[in-house]
Structure 1
């Protein structure tokens, strides 16, 4: 055995501080590596945490006794997580040095000696590689700090003496006692508010993709907060002891402990793969951690998706049990409430809905009765904790829909047709009822998709879609959705759309086409519940076709009458169109807060309107392009005339516009563009920009200019420099060698929205100079995109009119479109049309291009030109533009 630590001032301190720190660092690293090996072998995580704390204890105590004389009167405590005796591989080592109570007249030399000793002590620990946080206070100062700051108290109530006599321990305990600071009621209310605020901070989109294991909703901090509350209110932090006093059930304790261990293991592994103190499951570490924990890819489920599904399910359960325990703590403080009867089964207790009988539920139908009463009362704060626990225990008795009888089928349909059906479905989902009733929903609970397009788990996305549908149903104005409010009242049976929303993604993770799998599930569900053939067919069709409208709008030219005719043929009737439009809007907006924007709203509204007209006209009478152009021309003429423009001037303005503009533009757009041409001399460049009504930052940019090689690339690069992301580009050839281009843009950063005048001035100035000098800015690829590499796909297709369509699928990045445009410019190609679509990290862009022959005429790309362009685009995507 080695000798114990030598006290400062004693003989035997032959090693220098530098040598001691080096040896301590080596010892800690060796012990850390051994613990990591035990972790990989599946060792109990609590033992590993305790072993890490003991490993650090040995070095901290050795440094303390090396630097601080025993007669100093100082005491050393571990606080925070270190004080609990659980230390993760790279967590901070939080220490409290407790000083004796001293009068202000204490000799200054004594203070300097003490400060020198502590400075040496802390320096040793830092040199040994320990991330130390420390405070130096007397017991009185500890009490004052705890009274002023709840986080200080929290760290103190789990303090652990490292080198402290009985007097120091007692003094510190009294300083943090409820009789001295933060009595139970105040502590509970403050901690509950702190929990709510923390959840709010960590509930944003990025943390849904990269959740915080420690501080996020359902994370380890939630479990610790429950322990702290129990200690302050009940007098013990041992959750098992709460069973005896009726605060928790044995099953709840077991579940909470199981999830704490699971989350602790995730956090321990995260520290190891990150090699530093890291609490967020960043994309950088998710795959590494999944592999380290033994997950492997399977058909339909990546290893990383399995890891994340485990986390989301665990966090959800921690939140659910935590909400119950918070109620019980509240009742412990406030006393038992006086019940307010509702009916023979239910009552209110301090605003919480509760079952009146201890034996509730006596039959599965009473579970649906609970949600029906809840939906009918707007004054319910939530579900009472005892009833929530009874519900959880009764879930195994609730049959799935396929095994249930007609009574339960009817009760569920009543919930869908009753008040606040979306709130009801959301409550059922969060309490585990929906997953029991529809087992396929349980399989997608907590299921994430490892991409940047889907920022929510499948079940949370589904609930977001349903929430959007409830917004449509409310009739309240929402400027994000142009037509939804007026379409919803026409629905024959709104519950059918809710069912389609519930099932639209339920087939994900099975390795096949989720739309087809979900359609099968929806059909079985509707048939089992006894819906009519017409109703069941509509729900099934909506689930199977729920992506049709978005892909048509974003990937095809919806100004082409043939595209509209094909789409309308698939739709078939107005009822399907109404339902599909609403489902599509809700689906896109529920996928990511950033995904829905003004241009998607306009695209879908335009597609809906055009399809409705096609259906009204009759599919046997498709609209010809010339007929569409004539209709748009006359509508634009009427708009211009209404603002005082004479017929002669209208004809002059229209003569400067390409015929294709009348086929593809909207009447209001055509009138605006015509007005922009007023006063232009031949050879002039004119740029106009206008905001899209009711959509902050969305702009339409119109450019009319003599055509020159490189013009498209220069426009795109300038818009990129202005911080504008192009959503769609329409590049038309105007009369007499001019271009007639329009761009639909949104700001890349909503905090910085350029004014229309600035856009006009910057573009006109750029186009007036040497186009070759207009280059896109160089940007560093965002961190998160490095983890989502998509192998580039480049496809060439011939189009009508002697053009070549280039389809490009690749990883998105800042400035991508500007670089692609530059590559097209270097290949001496002309761009005639562009459709830009981005889905998370995935860019799917279409360009119609031509080469120029010796006579200056446009022609399609031959095989050699296609291969040259392919090589240029691939090089561009690698950053060599």
Structure 2
């Protein structure tokens, strides 16, 4: 390394002083940010501060006559420098100069790194720039925005010529490549900006999308100057203003994210969301958390970027390919390069024309989308669209025809994306971009609603969807499918207002249906569905649907077959549309079993509820037939059934009873056995049957062992059989699908554990997943006394944070309190666990006040702090 230029400080001293200067400058910029300083000025100020330091370092290291030029490239080249962004530099010069000053350049880059500047650099000749950019479009994109730091006009012109469209990446090729790059990038994020932890830079509607529009304009048109783009019709003044407003909003979020993270971070993770919301001045209200307000702002910004971006990309395409030949569709519309366009320049003249557009669009499956000029005209006309309350009867009927016409769900999705649905139904605009700060709802309310409608559309496709056992059979029974669409549209529309969103949404649904002049019967059905849209889910997941009393109570609330059909389909669509991971074969079977059992109850008549004896007799007869088909005689079957608890015939399916009875054939009376079998239709899921002499701590030992095997328990049933033998059954699935357990592994491990003492068996200790640490739910413990055929029991209700090993920990607490578990219903909703247990003391009596208080205290001690 060469010696310092005379009169300059030593490198170490300069780096230390510069590091301190950077920290001081960044602190001042952070203070300006917190004082609501203009974001563009902050970005420019940081870039200018770094410019000065980079030039100073260059002067310390590189002679003036080196025949080398220095450029800022990438985001730094644009003059936008965020607190933790890379500082990308290009040294341009002939190969001979590069070689002669290799040591000086090495010293220059080392000095910048020692000063704490995250520098990325390249040293190239113009020819090498051409070669590198031709091989990698990202290199070209970075060089398109090169900004001279220490370079004359000739060097700048030489660099521009080296990467010009005449040499590499002609405009059309560049457009196609960047469009495909964008599509691939969007696909990595599920093609939606509405992720719980969105990426501000790379995600759909994020900063990279804004920059891509700029890069394409530079390559295709040769400028990003708004006046020039407006002059040639590529950009409207309103579009540019909107795009700039949202770019600044996104930039402010990204600048703040870098500050709160203290490192290069582009993903708006849960770790930083609340901190950033507080720093931006968002305050919790009764209806909305500050973090939810901030995230709603982001989602709305991203939606607008995507909306305008679609228009500009289409115009770039037309710029490259020329004005297409129009294909008439009707008197109002035509197709231009397969994009639907209004024929008249003054379209639309009113909301009727807009609804007509969506009707024609729905009838043309060959339409690629909406033509950009028509989309812009539609955007400008949005303020003139009345709400359904203010619309005339004709317009309301037009909307109803859209619901009854082809591609109804796709039409609603288009109307939502283009801002029409929010104008027509103002309550929908209120939930657009609205997120809920939890892990259960992984989409914003509007996107969840559209996902529910998409699931409903799949029921109507005519092709069975393997995710839903009965949906394709139930759908054809619907008298008016549009009523289910309306229920799906309104089921969550009142979220964020405070109060019960189901009740408030039902009021909205009635008002809307009345305005559309639906009959009282149809209106009442939609209203009921919105009010009760959680009923089936809660019943199936929190209650024992093998209990005839549960079925009778549910059937009484449903009251008739039409409501049941609609509620079943809405429930399936709702759960599956809440999170891709939430719907599974276990939930599908629960809903299908509840639907089937309720249908039978309604057919029998609510005045004739199923008696326990009747249910026992039916199950016994069906299980007997199964065993007989495998060669068992009547006498043997009766002997096996005599060893089983009566309540098992009342609450279990015939195939379960037959399987358990067959397991008893292999062991003598009073001896235990453990069996496991795959659950049909469930990947890696098992049903586990434990038949064992009863003893204290047995349930806890079983649960802890299953937990150690990496199995998540969805349902547990603990039945006391004759001769003090237990009949415990569990439905489990791997917590990680990559590490499934075989039935044989489960049988072997449980047999080993239960053969020895149970006192020392404890659940494994696991680190809590990162995302769960940011959602603290106060532990809620509730008690109730319930009646049961074998005597009264205590119902323990537990609401708390879900985490690995939760059920095993709870089971240990119950064991330590000397309590018996007779039934368990395990339900998890994102980060929230809502579990229900039927328990008694050792004498099979319900808990008294002292026992309840002791258990309450023990549970709080175990669960109130997150396990580390």
Pair in the same fold by TM > 0.5: yes
Question: Hey, what does 1:871 align to over in structure 2?
Answer: 857
- Match status 1:589 vs 2:579: no
Q: Quote the Cα distance in structure 2 between the aligned partners of 1:475 and 1:723.
A: 39
Question: Hey, what does 2:646 align to over in structure 1?
Answer: 659
SS in 1 for 2:759: helix
Q: Quote the Cα distance in structure 2 between the aligned partners of 1:682 and 1:71.
A: 99
Compared with structure 1, are the counterparts of its residues 879 and 284 closer, same or farther at alpha carbon in structure 2 (3 Å cutoff)?
closer
Corresponding residue pairs, total: 863
What is the aligned counterpart of 1:82 among 38, 61, 76?
76
Moved more, 56-65 or 320-329: 56-65
TM-fit CA distance, 1:49: 0.3
- Match status 1:172 vs 2:159: yes
- Match status 1:762 vs 2:749: yes
Q: Is 1:161–1:169's contact at 8 Å kept on the other side of the alignment?
A: yes
Q: Is 1:347–1:355's contact at 8 Å kept on the other side of the alignment?
A: yes
TM-fit CA distance, 1:314: 0.6
Q: Deviations over 1:122-157 (max 9, x none)?
A: 222122111111122222111111111111111111
TM-fit CA distance, 1:683: 5.2
Q: Is 1:9–1:69's contact at 8 Å kept on the other side of the alignment?
A: no
TM-fit CA distance, 1:116: 2.5
Q: Is 2:506–2:528's contact at 8 Å kept on the other side of the alignment?
A: yes
Q: Deviations over 1:308-352 (max 9, x none)?
A: 101001100100000011110001111111111111111111111
Q: Is 2:194–2:447's contact at 8 Å kept on the other side of the alignment?
A: no
After superposition, where does 1:8-19 map in structure 2 within 5 Å? 10-13=5-8, 15-19=9-13
Question: Hey, what does 2:65 align to over in structure 1?
Answer: 71
Question: Hey, what does 1:858 align to over in structure 2?
Answer: 844
After superposition, where does 1:71-150 map in structure 2 within 5 Å? 71-102=65-96, 111=99, 114-150=101-137
Q: Quote the Cα distance in structure 2 between the aligned partners of 1:772 and 1:558.
A: 34
SS in 2 for 1:173: helix
Compared with structure 1, are the counterparts of its residues 205 and 188 closer, same or farther at alpha carbon in structure 2 (3 Å cutoff)?
closer
Q: Is 2:186–2:203's contact at 8 Å kept on the other side of the alignment?
A: yes
Q: Quote the Cα distance in structure 2 between the aligned partners of 1:41 and 1:64.
A: 34
Q: Quote the Cα distance in structure 1 between the aligned partners of 2:69 and 2:152.
A: 7
List runs of 5+ in structure 1 lacking aligned partners.
1-6
After superposition, where does 1:588-737 map in structure 2 within 5 Å? 588-682=575-669, 684-737=671-724
Question: Hey, what does 1:446 align to over in structure 2?
Answer: 433
- Match status 1:434 vs 2:421: yes
Q: Is 1:92–1:133's contact at 8 Å kept on the other side of the alignment?
A: yes
TM-fit CA distance, 1:613: 1.3
What is the aligned counterpart of 1:828 among 808, 811, 818?
818
Q: Is 1:598–1:698's contact at 8 Å kept on the other side of the alignment?
A: no
TM-fit CA distance, 1:753: 2.3
What is the aligned counterpart of 2:501 among 491, 494, 514?
514
Root mean square deviation, CA, Å: 1.7
Question: Hey, what does 2:180 align to over in structure 1?
Answer: 193
- Match status 1:223 vs 2:210: yes
TM-fit CA distance, 1:611: 1.2
TM-fit CA distance, 1:115: 3.0
- Match status 1:351 vs 2:338: yes
Q: Quote the Cα distance in structure 1 between the aligned partners of 2:309 and 2:605.
A: 58
After superposition, where does 1:95-494 map in structure 2 within 5 Å? 95-102=89-96, 111=99, 114-203=101-190, 208-494=195-481
Q: Quote the Cα distance in structure 2 between the aligned partners of 1:694 and 1:427.
A: 35
Q: Is 2:62–2:104's contact at 8 Å kept on the other side of the alignment?
A: yes
SS in 2 for 1:858: coil
Q: Is 1:205–1:455's contact at 8 Å kept on the other side of the alignment?
A: no
Q: Quote the Cα distance in structure 2 between the aligned partners of 1:174 and 1:395.
A: 45
TM-fit CA distance, 1:449: 0.6
Q: Is 1:240–1:253's contact at 8 Å kept on the other side of the alignment?
A: no
Q: Quote the Cα distance in structure 1 between the aligned partners of 2:440 and 2:738.
A: 22
Compared with structure 1, are the counterparts of its residues 646 and 99 closer, same or farther at alpha carbon in structure 2 (3 Å cutoff)?
farther
Q: Deviations over 1:821-866 (max 9, x none)?
A: 11212222211111111111111111112222xxxx3222222222
Q: Deviations over 1:82-124 (max 9, x none)?
A: 011110011111111223133xxx9xxx83x633222222222
TM-fit CA distance, 1:204: 7.4
Q: Quote the Cα distance in structure 2 between the aligned partners of 1:829 and 1:653.
A: 29
SS in 1 for 2:122: strand
Q: Is 1:8–1:66's contact at 8 Å kept on the other side of the alignment?
A: no
What is the aligned counterpart of 1:842 among 832, 844, 859?
832
SS in 2 for 1:848: strand
Q: Is 1:732–1:739's contact at 8 Å kept on the other side of the alignment?
A: yes
Moved more, 676-685 or 271-280: 676-685
Compared with structure 1, are the counterparts of its residues 282 and 207 closer, same or farther at alpha carbon in structure 2 (3 Å cutoff)?
farther
List runs of 5+ in structure 2 lacking aligned partners.
none
Q: Is 1:835–1:846's contact at 8 Å kept on the other side of the alignment?
A: yes
Q: Quote the Cα distance in structure 1 between the aligned partners of 2:750 and 2:720.
A: 19
Q: Is 1:598–1:692's contact at 8 Å kept on the other side of the alignment?
A: no
TM-fit CA distance, 1:775: 2.3
What is the aligned counterpart of 2:769 among 782, 791, 794?
782
Stretches (4+) displaced over 6 A: 204-207
TM-fit CA distance, 1:514: 0.5
Moved more, 417-426 or 678-687: 678-687
What is the aligned counterpart of 1:559 among 537, 546, 550?
546
TM-score by length of 2: 0.97
- Match status 1:576 vs 2:563: yes
Q: Quote the Cα distance in structure 2 between the aligned partners of 1:875 and 1:435.
A: 47
TM-score by length of 1: 0.96
